[in-house]
Structure 1
């Protein structure tokens, strides 16, 4: 993620999912990287997909539900990234940046959810 982060959450969640895919593409081909990478691809893509679905809300209850799923997927993405970081020394900084972005997305989503309550 570039230093000048975007504040459009749809774009930001897209960039997060894209960057996770670039990372997985570049990792060494091992069983653990493949399996953890698949999980990361699913969860990182789900962050943005659920956020977008929430924006096409059927009501405040649906919006809040979708945002909570999106937040949960950001947290799950952090988990897979931490596993990948532990096993891929050459990508430490790159993975740490993605872990930080997942955490920031989670905090932003939490803030939106809290404002809806």
Structure 2
């Protein structure tokens, strides 16, 4: 089976988000942890859904939603960092998320140019 870089990276990112969620729960960061878990894992879900897209347009739509979720995840991670609500390091997760956004943006632009 052919490797899918953006799918693999988003899956690994989801695992990191789940670990962050567990850490935040231990430190009583309940509200933001749930938001980060929801949007951070949604990136990979939407990428996975794109594999069953009914058309190129549907494919672009699913990847666009994944990109929006990634941007929301970065927002929550930055908020978590600045609020000092819990003691966690988020910069590598922000970098990982930005990499996923770059990949998604590239894929979306390529597909749109072929529509």
TM-score, length-scaled by structure 2: 0.86
Deviating beyond 4 angstroms after TM superposition, the runs of 4 or more aligned structure 1 residues are none
Aligned to 2:58: 62
| Matched positions, count | 107
1:56-98 deviations in whole A, cap 9, x for unaligned? 1101010000000000000000011111112157423xx1000
TM-score by length of 1: 0.84
Q: CA deviation at 1:18?
A: 1.0
Residues 112 and 58 of structure 1, relative CA distance in 2, 3 Å threshold: same
Match of 2:101 among 98, 102, 106: 106
Consecutive unaligned residues of structure 1, counting only runs of 5 or more, are: 1-5
RMSD: 1.7
User: Counterparts in 2 of 1:76-115, with a 5 A limit?
Assistant: 76-86=72-82, 87-88=84-85, 90-92=87-89, 95-115=90-110
Secondary structure at the aligned position of 1:91 is classed as coil
CA–CA distance in 1 between the matches of 2:86 and 2:48? 34
Task: For structure 2, list consecutive stretches of 5 or more residues without a partner in the other structure.
Answer: none
